[in-house]
A = this chain, B = another copy of it.
Amino acid sequence: MKVSSRSSERSEAERLVHVPLGERAYDILIGPGLIGRAGGEITSRLKGRRAAIVTDENVAPLYLEALMDSLQTDGIEAVSLTLPAGEKTKSLEHLATVTDMVLAARIERNDAVIALGGGVIGDLAGFAAGIVRRGVRFVQIPTSLLAQVDSSVGGKTGINTRHGKNLLGVFHQPDLVLADTAALDTLSEREFRAGYAEVAKYGLIDQPDFFAWLEKNWKPMFAGGPERIEAIAIACQAKSDVVVEDERENGRRALLNLGHTFGHALEAATQYDSARLVHGEGVSIGMVLAYQFSSRLNLASPDDAVRVEKHLKSVGLPTRIDEIPGEMPPTEKLLDAIAQDKKVKGGKLTFILTRGIGEAFVADDVPSSEVLSFLEGKRGK
């Protein structure tokens, strides 16, 4: 049996964020080396002694063995399933494969499905955990920055259909999140940056001080200093605060979609081709557009839009539609994609707008004509 040396040590820098959701409360641990300590962290919190791990072909070679070793050391009987990497894996066919594997492993209510990977694996495995026996335990081990600060916290799970993204799913909170920050060292610069867009988002929603802190500290955060763990912990705490207040997105939780309505439309316009645009890049451009649109509506100062764009540009994120490589569809088509986004209620356009840095709010009656002329202006037509 191979146990990596890091497995016994708890880093001093490690942080814990508790998500107080009553009987669905859970802990998020953030720090280096958590994959190698997963067994102990799970057995100290969950009753079951079986686990079914879902991972992908990129992540498995890096971390699956260390995770299996740790589980075995702590007496958890585990099986694993390695799926193709990428957004296409969030399909009904793969959901069927995962649920069949989980049932074959005789996972009962107190046993766990473990997601080892990024947002795709987390969303798919979480959906499976939510429907097997009407809900079994779920442990998230997010290995991307995006998953550590966003998709692994809050209980949204789902798959894509021919009608759109994330249209089938359940709310199923994890029982434990292990955000191993050492895993981020293997991310590409581009992937890390894309995740950073979601980190900055929390500052822009309602924490102006955090945004100012990021403007000062993003370099050591990118370089892997203690600022990285700090920033992830603040982001997880921010998401937790919103989720606790509005677990099932009847109101305030929609704020987390800042930048996402424009962003999703851009992703759809590029056919989710990650060579052209990944989710976090869409969010980056989308957040800048949200600030510019808010400024055009005389809600926010134009200076704020300039400040947001400047910061995101400085970390290397795209901030303008024309930075997306390849041909983009006409603006009317982008608007169609916005109208088809699932955050449409009763036919009206819902947007997250803002009155300044850290002052986002939900507007659910934005006229589509305003959006159209704003976007046309942006694209120089």
A interface vs B, CB < 8 Å?
92, 96, 99-100, 103-104, 108-110, 130-135, 156, 158, 161-164, 167-171, 248, 342, 344-346
Q: Across the interface, which residues of B come within 8 angstroms of A164, CB to CB?
A: 103
Selected contact of A133 from candidates B92, B133, B167, CB within 8 Å: B167
A171 touches B342 (CB 8 A): no
Selected contact of A99 from candidates B161, B342, B346, CB within 8 Å: B161
Q: Across the interface, which residues of B come within 8 angstroms of A96, CB to CB?
A: 92
Give A156 to B131 CA distance when docked, in angstroms. Answer: 11
A168 touches B108 (CB 8 A): no
B133 touches A342 (CB 8 A): yes
Selected contact of A100 from candidates B130, B161, B171, B248, CB within 8 Å: B161
Could you say how many copies of this chain the assembly holds?
Answer: 2
A104 touches B163 (CB 8 A): yes
B132 touches A167 (CB 8 A): yes
> Least Cβ distance of A376 to chain B in Å?
27
Nearest CB to that of A162 among chain B residues?
Answer: B100
Known: A99-B161, A103-B163. A344 touches B131 (CB 8 A): no
B171 touches A108 (CB 8 A): no
Selected contact of A108 from candidates B110, B131, B346, CB within 8 Å: B346
B134 touches A346 (CB 8 A): no
Known: A108-B345, A108-B346, A345-B108. A134 touches B169 (CB 8 A): yes
A170 touches B135 (CB 8 A): yes
A109 touches B156 (CB 8 A): no
Q: Across the interface, which residues of B come within 8 angstroms of A156, CB to CB?
A: 134
B131 touches A170 (CB 8 A): yes
A168 touches B131 (CB 8 A): yes
> Least Cβ distance of A146 to chain B in Å?
20
> Least Cβ distance of A325 to chain B in Å?
31
A130 touches B342 (CB 8 A): no
Interface CB pairs A-B, < 8 A, 12: A92-B92, A99-B168, A100-B162, A100-B163, A109-B345, A110-B346, A130-B170, A131-B131, A132-B167, A132-B168, A133-B167, A134-B169
Q: Across the interface, which residues of B come within 8 angstroms of A110, CB to CB?
A: 345-346
Give A248 to B134 CA distance when docked, in angstroms. Answer: 9
Known: A109-B345, A345-B109, A346-B108. A171 touches B135 (CB 8 A): yes
> Least Cβ distance of A319 to chain B in Å?
31
A170 touches B170 (CB 8 A): yes
Q: Across the interface, which residues of B come within 8 angstroms of A132, CB to CB?
A: 167-168
